[in-house]
Structure 1
């Protein structure tokens, strides 16, 4: 459970930093001026992103394994961009909001999100413990 919460917070922070870096990716809170609502919105979007990435993302990676080999992994950029657009669609159905301006913004946002999440994971690993994040 602790690992799940740490990954959730890491993804929420990475998503927040991604929205600051990539102009075409935004998260809109229920009440835009309320800090608590903004933090909860980022946590909810990170939760949806984690569920989509672990369930649908893993299925797509298994099915598209030959394409990953054929393109030397570059198809992962497209898949991650599509997964980010899927998270946008799901969050808009629920009523809170990740907004992506288009497909290529989604690809760029997914790339930046992955890099930032990776960097934060490297920083947090010595603090939390290596075994805690790998399970």
Structure 2
């Protein structure tokens, strides 16, 4: 459970940093909302993003295994961007205020999320269990 909470926290921070860097490309639309609502929205999006990456991303990577080998893994960046776009679509379906503008924003955002996640996982202490 502790590992799950840490993973959601890392995802939340990475998504928030991506939205700060790509101000018009990735947004948490909070018109007049409080900071507590923004934090709740970011955490909810992080949970949805984590579920998409846990259940859908492995299937897509399995189906695209030939392309992954052919492109020496570079297609993984496109898969990550598609998972971010899927997260945005799921959020809009459930009226969660998270939006990714286009594929280019998703691609750059997925790179930012990957880098921030790697840095946070390197800084956080490892669970010895």
Query: Is TM (by shorter chain) over 0.5?
Result: yes
1:53 aligns with 2:50: no
- 1:22-61: CA deviation from partner (whole Å, max 9, x where unpaired): 23111124x6430110001000000000000111001111
Task: Answer yes or no: is the 8 Å Cα contact 1:88–1:98 preserved in 2.
Answer: yes
Q: Which residue of structure 2 aligns with residue 122 of structure 1?
A: 122
State the distance in 1 between where 2:5 and 2:53 align. 16
Distance, in Å, in 2 between the alignment partners of 1:3 and 1:58 is: 20
- Stretches of structure 1 that go unaligned for 5 or more consecutive residues are none
User: RMSD of the alignment, in Å?
Assistant: 1.3
Contact 1:10-1:120 within 8 A present in 2 as well: yes
Distance in structure 2 (CA, Å) of the matches to 1:71 and 1:27: 33
Match of residue 87 from structure 1: 87
Q: Which residue of 1 aligns with 2:2?
A: 2
Structure 1 stretches of 4+ with a deviation exceeding 3 A read none
CA contact (8 A) 1:32 1:38 kept: no
C-alpha separation between the residues in 2 aligned to 1:116 and 1:103?
A: 20
Q: TM-score, normalised by structure 1?
A: 0.89
| Matches of 1:43 and 1:115, distance apart in 2 | 19
Other-structure match for 1:28: 29
* Unaligned residue ranges in structure 2 (runs of 5+): none
SS in 2 for 1:131: coil
Report the Cα distance in structure 2 between the residues aligned to 1:75 and 1:61, rounded to whole angstroms.
Answer: 9
The 1-side partners of 2:76 and 2:32 are apart by 33
Count of residue correspondences? 128
